[in-house]
Structure 1
Amino acid sequence: MRPNFRRPALCLALAAASLAPNPPAHAAQDGKARAEQDEARQKLQGVRQQIEALTKDQRETANSRDSANAGLAKKAEEVSAAARAVRETDGELAQRQHDLDQLNQQRAAMQGDLGKHKGALDDLLRATYTLGRGSDLQLLLGDEDIDRISRALAYSRYFQENRVERIKGLLADLSRLQDVENAITAEQQKLEATKAERQKRAGDLEKQRTDQQKLVAEADAKYKDQGQRMAALKQNEQDMNALVAKLQRVIDEAAKAAEPAPAPKGAPAGPALGNLRGNLPWPANGPVHAYGNGVIIVAPRGSEVKAVARGRVVFANFLRGYGMMIIVNHGNGFMSMYGNNETLLHGVGDMVEAGEAVGTAAAPAGDNGAYFELRQGGKPIDARGWFAKKH
């Protein structure tokens, strides 16, 4: 029995962002720029609020028609939160391990330097003994030549001063080494605590996944035949069409009042999606087959689903029939949709770059997996001709 998320989903676009002009030379221009920034931010916030309101209306409509939808949506969001927590803990583990490796390398280097300092100090002590073979007092009491005594005393003072400085340096190195040793111990303790937290969160995630599978099975069991299933899927698609139509009106109004978002500082803007036909990067890895208006990519659970081009997230929520869905607007009427995510890594209003992870794939079931669809002007377009050829 195929899960509902395999059906192609409809999507929306958003063209609203804050401006980031260069600092003006005059106070009047500066005030005008700040006013424009404030106005742009308010418009973007207004669009977000309208999208959230429309999403809420869609959810309530679906819940009133199908009581199981509320449970499915809540459980999908709980699984998403648990999976994201595990992912964040994995990132923290990797960073702590990196820090620990750096400290161990630092300790090894300091121990090597310490050995050199000890060797140099040993040589100095031997040289001092060989030079005097006794104390400065013995030199003065002997019947040696006065010039030789003067030279010997000068050398003796030099070696003694050098010895004192080397001893000070050695003690300082030992102190720094002890600090590094303490830091290593503290970092090891943090690493162990993070591993324990990761294990706990992974256990919570598995429980949420099991509960979700039960809910999905219960929702599927209510369909008595294939006809009822197709009718439900058709209803989902009609609801999506209505929602997209409302969202498109909001987006069109926002596009007239707001300028496109500038590229993040230090990141050059990528090529427009419309120029990537035949060279579009794949959003996920795995076997691919056509489905409806898009494609199914049988990606491993937890693997990253990546944006195919630079754009702004305009939808990130649960949709009956599509699972956890994220939609990115790329400008010029182009939108990309990423369905059946286990967790979403961005929210409405976030700017994402080409190749940046926007979600992680849910567990594939048979020939089902991550869903991808392209739209232009609100209409589905065949994505298969846009992807780069796989080698």
Structure 2
Amino acid sequence: MTTMAIRTSPSAPKRTGWAMMKDMMDIRIIRRMAKARGPFGGHLSHHYSFGAIRSDTRRIRIIMIAGLVCLGISTSGMADTDEARLATIEKRMATLERQIEKDRSTHGRAVAALRRSEQALADAARKQSELEAQQDATRRELEQINADIRRQQLRLRDNRAMLAAQLRARQAMGDDPWLKVLLSPADPAQTGRMLSYLQYLQHSQVSRIEGARTQLAELTSLHEAARKTQAVAARLVAEQREITENLRHARAERERAVKRLAGTVAGRAEALDRLRQDRARLEAVVTALPAAAQPFASSATGSSASAPEIAALFPKGPIRRLKGRLGWPVPGTVQARFGTQRQEGRMQWQGLLIGAAEGTPVRAVADGEVLFAAWMPYYGLVGIVDHGGGFLSLYGHNQSLVRRPGERVRAGDMLGRVGISGGRQTPALYFEIRQGGNPVNPERWLAATK
């Protein structure tokens, strides 16, 4: 910063002690104002606020009065020009204060709009997941009906073949086989056997005809059921398209909210200050949750089991014994690592940022209990799981959350889906592991391969 000094020259009028001190005070204020430019003149340093400006103003006035007393000069001797300069500075300070208050109000409205749009996006994503599950169930039901139809068709074909064989055998015996048997010169024993055979053929023929009729009726019923199931599937597809369209509208609203938010944010320093506040809120949540939670029992029930192929990627047991073997919460590319510098300023990453396709399932890395599932500034939709023994895992920027606080989960169970909540432009998952409230490097706990 350029050093400003008060110079005197032989031709300049002699300055009084009050005037020289006043110049120094004005210089201090101008320097402060240069550092604290408002949203229309640059960015506002996160080290400076209007509370500090008001405090400095009071301090300056006290110093002025003390200086007047020490110099033996009455306040009534203040020059008109000095009063005008002080009034101008105070007016500039008041204007800047109003601008910052207005900016904060706009920022608050933008955050509220962002929260509403992302909640709408989460609701739409959850409805779409439910609809996809219903559609899968309908598809399986239709496959079962088609399999039953194929079996009935095979049985009907066999019955028709047997019936045709019986008709050919009767035709070979003539128009009236009963009369031929009775009038034949064969011995009575053979005649009795032939009559029994004819009676068996007659009953078998009638039975197979009735069976064919019954099977035809069942086949007709199955075809009708299949037709209704296909109609339900078509309706579900139409509803899914409507849900997808709602998702697009919700995303467009969220993007507009993000643009409004970006328009009210004044520079990197203020973004860093806001990020530190968000980190403090998150620290408070993570610190407070274990104290209020019930101790986790690894044998507890109540969570849905993961599919075998998913469960195979997540070893079982207490998390403290699984260092270096935990399954990854989501397959993807690590975009930011623990301890590296953040783009927002001097802060460091306290977890991993894992890029993945939007909607990819986010899974619990170990058994535990869901302690927190809600929206937070910057982190969007956040889920926190207590694994017992002082271990917590955190999952941020979700598109939607499928677990509620108090639910028990197993390693590999789905917690939510990867999204862009919290103001991100690209989908990713923010993942932390904490031990005793302190963040630890997640890559030391996760398996070497995803």
- Normalised TM-score (structure 2): 0.67
Give, in angstroms, the shift of residue 176 of structure 1.
1.6
Question: Structure 1 residues 166, 367: closer, same or farther in 2, change over 3 A?
Answer: closer
Is 2:419–2:427's contact at 8 Å kept on the other side of the alignment?
A: no
Question: Structure 1 residues 64, 206: closer, same or farther in 2, change over 3 A?
Answer: closer
Give, in angstroms, the shift of residue 237 of structure 1.
1.2
Deviations 1:238-262 (A, max 9, x none): 22223434434323xx44xxx7363
Counterpart-to-counterpart distance in 2, 1:181 and 1:283: 44
Counterpart mapping for 1:1-391 below 5 A: 66-130=108-172, 132-136=173-177, 138-139=179-180, 142=183, 144-145=185-186, 147=188, 148-251=190-293, 254-255=294-295, 260=297, 262-264=299-301, 270-288=316-334, 289-291=336-338, 292-363=349-420, 369-390=428-449
Counterpart-to-counterpart distance in 2, 1:155 and 1:241: 91
Question: Structure 1 residues 243, 389: closer, same or farther in 2, change over 3 A?
Answer: closer
Partner of 1:66, secondary structure, is: helix
Is 1:139–1:149's contact at 8 Å kept on the other side of the alignment?
A: no
Partner of 2:403, secondary structure, is: coil
Partner of 2:121, secondary structure, is: helix
Is 1:63–1:70's contact at 8 Å kept on the other side of the alignment?
A: no
Is 1:273–1:330's contact at 8 Å kept on the other side of the alignment?
A: yes
Bigger relative contact order (CA 8 A; separation at least 6): 1
Give, in angstroms, the shift of residue 367 of structure 1.
7.1
Is 1:301–1:362's contact at 8 Å kept on the other side of the alignment?
A: yes
The percent identity for this pair of structures is 27
Q: Which has the larger radius of gyration?
A: 2
Counterpart-to-counterpart distance in 1, 2:158 and 2:181: 35
Counterpart-to-counterpart distance in 1, 2:170 and 2:127: 64
Partner of 1:69, secondary structure, is: helix
Counterpart-to-counterpart distance in 2, 1:351 and 1:119: 59
Which letter maps to 1:276?
L
Counterpart-to-counterpart distance in 2, 1:231 and 1:280: 34
Counterpart-to-counterpart distance in 1, 2:224 and 2:135: 19
Is 1:300–1:363's contact at 8 Å kept on the other side of the alignment?
A: no
Is 2:181–2:195's contact at 8 Å kept on the other side of the alignment?
A: no
In structure 2, the gaps of 5 or more residues are 1-103, 306-310, 339-348
Partner of 1:263, secondary structure, is: coil
In structure 1, the gaps of 5 or more residues are 1-61
RMSD over aligned CA atoms reads: 2.6
Question: Structure 1 residues 63, 375: closer, same or farther in 2, change over 3 A?
Answer: farther
Give, in angstroms, the shift of residue 63 of structure 1.
9.7
Counterpart-to-counterpart distance in 2, 1:245 and 1:210: 35
Counterpart-to-counterpart distance in 1, 2:398 and 2:162: 62
Mean CA deviation greater in 187-196 or 64-73? 64-73
Give, in angstroms, the shift of residue 79 of structure 1.
0.8
Is 2:374–2:382's contact at 8 Å kept on the other side of the alignment?
A: yes
Counterpart-to-counterpart distance in 1, 2:368 and 2:105: 31
Give, in angstroms, the shift of residue 64 of structure 1.
12
Is 2:399–2:417's contact at 8 Å kept on the other side of the alignment?
A: yes
Counterpart-to-counterpart distance in 2, 1:296 and 1:340: 10
Question: Structure 1 residues 209, 297: closer, same or farther in 2, change over 3 A?
Answer: same
Give, in angstroms, the shift of residue 383 of structure 1.
0.6
1:22: which partner in 2?
Answer: none
Counterpart-to-counterpart distance in 1, 2:264 and 2:393: 32
1:53: which partner in 2?
Answer: none
Give, in angstroms, the shift of residue 270 of structure 1.
2.8
Is 2:135–2:233's contact at 8 Å kept on the other side of the alignment?
A: yes
Mean CA deviation greater in 303-312 or 172-181? 172-181
Is 1:302–1:363's contact at 8 Å kept on the other side of the alignment?
A: no
Is 2:107–2:261's contact at 8 Å kept on the other side of the alignment?
A: no
Deviations 1:41-70 (A, max 9, x none): xxxxxxxxxxxxxxxxxxxxx999934332
